[in-house]
Structure 1
């Protein structure tokens, strides 16, 4: 497989320039970190404000534009199996580019997601009760119609699009020391870590304890299947990290850490209580690394050095706000 390079991210930036929302950055006060830890300069990257509510719009747009530029996009359009953020991003990008999109979901998918996909003009196919059945039907559809099969994270064009986020952050914070990002299958991480290495920035890869595909791959030296049991599994529940992600994690200054579900829930609720920011559990996972209590372990949470300039990526907002309660102080 083609390994991701910084030139891939530069090319992605050229393709999607002016077509995605520039990331908003907000300084974070000490109320979002452990007051007992060393003082650092903490920023929040509000990527949940991106089109479709997540960073995945970047990769989806880059993927389609690259194929359009190369003349390799078939008349049958693009297809993907996903009821989550990747499917929404693919449908959005396809509509923007005037491309047909066929999205396969399990019949158990939430009605609100089905409606939103159709609102983006996608041909939605409901198949089976599990994602694996929808994925199988998607693969068969691509084989029989010639539609271009997209992927939620495991493709260089998808990862390169995601990596444009780090370059945007770095332009705003040129002396950034560390970027903290949540990891599922590894598309966002692979892109961000590749760009961060070019800029001399450390990347902290954060996973739930119950969904640690990249952490396990690093320990094994190759991608391995892991069990999934986490409140963030809807967006970070990949059973296996991509080879792209593992390669990126083995280069440069990268640290892989895990956090428990309780800390993820606490970080998510804290964002709502203190800032009225509503993100997915996966979107709050990166911040949970800064607040997790047992950071003395080499792989548990992250504690910055005194004066370190850190940016935490809040990457997805497709959540039910009804699950967030409590008055603002």
Structure 2
């Protein structure tokens, strides 16, 4: 983690940003328990619009010679945008494979970054299969959306940054798709803070793995599927979360959507559904902080079509 932080601060400077940490009284966000303080880690302001910039840039910087042949990635959108942005910053060609559920806003963003975009397959797993086949042909550096050591370590620098900015929170609420972010945060905080994994009811990769005792394939769908659409939790995240994760909670699409719209109406934060899960956990009562708790919400991404916030 420290190596990733050093690499990003020295070689990724000007691309990977330090994002703000905003501390608010809990009642400002609808929390009824007395004395709760909510920290909003505004990672949607990160380069590329999501936390993914940290891991993707770390991956490319760790393999500069391999990246000379180009970089290739399969993504629901955010990892692709982050990889394309990092590649553009380093002058590396980039190819991105997306599933058909990826949003038009994310596809447009990728095109603007100069990436070659290939759309096909119903879900992320289909895009990944096509990406792997193509990588064998080209020899490009493969950047995985969530299951490579450099990607997980890069994501974990977010936790390091939270602690440097605000001290150690009591709890950290974080959305989970393939698990790169929850893996990185859990590795950083270990048991020093309670890390709580949040997933949509319609995309329960980690929840299902915990129930089965091992990673398993699940059907995915719902409002956050373009970001949290992995069918199976990543092997690295699974290993890390076995020893240090505090809890895993499922949330309904209705609660996720309500929190997303609340963030826009009340705080003018335009975020994608995946970024709204931590607030949804609080406002729905699925996570109930203790009196006086300092709870950090990871607001992880902003790659959203603004028109969808006018509901």
Deviates more, 1:84-93 or 1:216-225: 216-225
Provide the residue aligned with 1:207 in structure 2: 199
Partner of residue 31 from structure 2, selected from 28, 34, 37: 34
Matching residue of 2:307: 322
Q: Could you tell me how far 1:158 is from its partner in structure 2?
A: 0.7
Which has the larger Rg? 1
Change beyond 3 A, Cα 1:135–1:25 = same
5+ long unaligned stretches in structure 2: none
CA shift digits 1:273-321 (9 cap, x unpaired): 111111111110111111113xxxxxxx211111111110100111122
Q: 2:209 aligns with which of 201, 207, 217?
A: 217
Output the CA distance in 2 between the equivalents of 1:44 and 1:171.
14
- 8 Å Cα contact 2:125/2:231 also seen in 1: no
Post-superposition CA distance 1:68-92 (Å, at most 9, x none): 1xx4x15421111225001110010
Name 1:57's counterpart in structure 2: 53
Give yes or no for contact 1:23–1:169 (8 Å, CA) kept in 2: no
Going from structure 1 to structure 2, the CA distance change for 1:150 and 1:180 (only over 3 Å counts) comes to same
Task: Please give the alpha-carbon distance, in whole angstroms, between the structure 2 residues aligned to 1:84 and 1:108.
Answer: 9
- Give the corresponding residue for 2:187: 194
CA–CA distance in structure 2, aligned partners of residues 190 and 26 of structure 1: 23
After alignment, is 74-83 or 156-165 more displaced?
74-83
CA deviation vs aligned residue, 1:162-210 (integer Å, no higher than 9, x gap): 0000000001121421111111110010001110117x11101111122
Question: For residues 223-242 of structure 1, what are the structure 2 equivalents within 5 Å?
Answer: 223-242=215-234
* Structure 2 partner of 1:95: 88
Residue equivalent to 1:297: none
Q: 5+ residue gaps in structure 1?
A: 1-8, 294-300
The answer to whether the 8 A contact 2:124-2:230 is kept is no
1:139 aligns with 2:129: no
8 Å contact kept, 1:74–1:146 = no
Q: What is the root-mean-square deviation of aligned Cα atoms in Å?
A: 2.0
Of the three residues 16, 20, 29, the one matched with 1:20 is 16
State how far apart, in whole Å, the 1-side matches of 2:135 and 2:209 are.
30
8 A contact 1:163–1:195 mirrored in 2: yes
Counterpart CA distance in 2 for 1:176 and 1:107 is 38
Aligned counterparts of 2:135 and 2:165: Cα–Cα separation in 1:
41
Q: 1:127 to 1:306 in 2, by over 3 A?
A: closer
3-state secondary structure, aligned to 2:190: helix
Q: How does 1:122-133 map to 2 (within 5 A)?
A: 122-127=115-120, 131-133=124-126
| Cα separation, 1, equivalents of 2:67 and 2:47 | 25
1:104 aligns with: 97
Query: Is 2:173–2:298's contact at 8 Å kept on the other side of the alignment?
Result: yes
Cα separation, 2, equivalents of 1:253 and 1:125: 36
Matches for 1:43-82 after TM superposition, within 5 Å = 43-68=39-64, 71=65, 73-82=66-75
SS at match of 1:135: helix
How far apart are 1:50 and its partner, in Å? 0.4
Stretch deviating more after TM superposition (133-142 or 301-310): 133-142
In the aligned structure 2, how far is the partner of 1:79 from the partner of 1:224? 25
Residue 222 and residue 131 in structure 1: after superposition, are their counterparts in 2 closer, same or farther (change >3 A)? Answer: closer
> What TM-score comes out, normalization by structure 2 length?
0.92
Residues 108 and 186 from structure 1, CA distance in 2 versus in 1: closer, same or farther, beyond 3 angstroms? closer
Paired residue for 1:309? 294
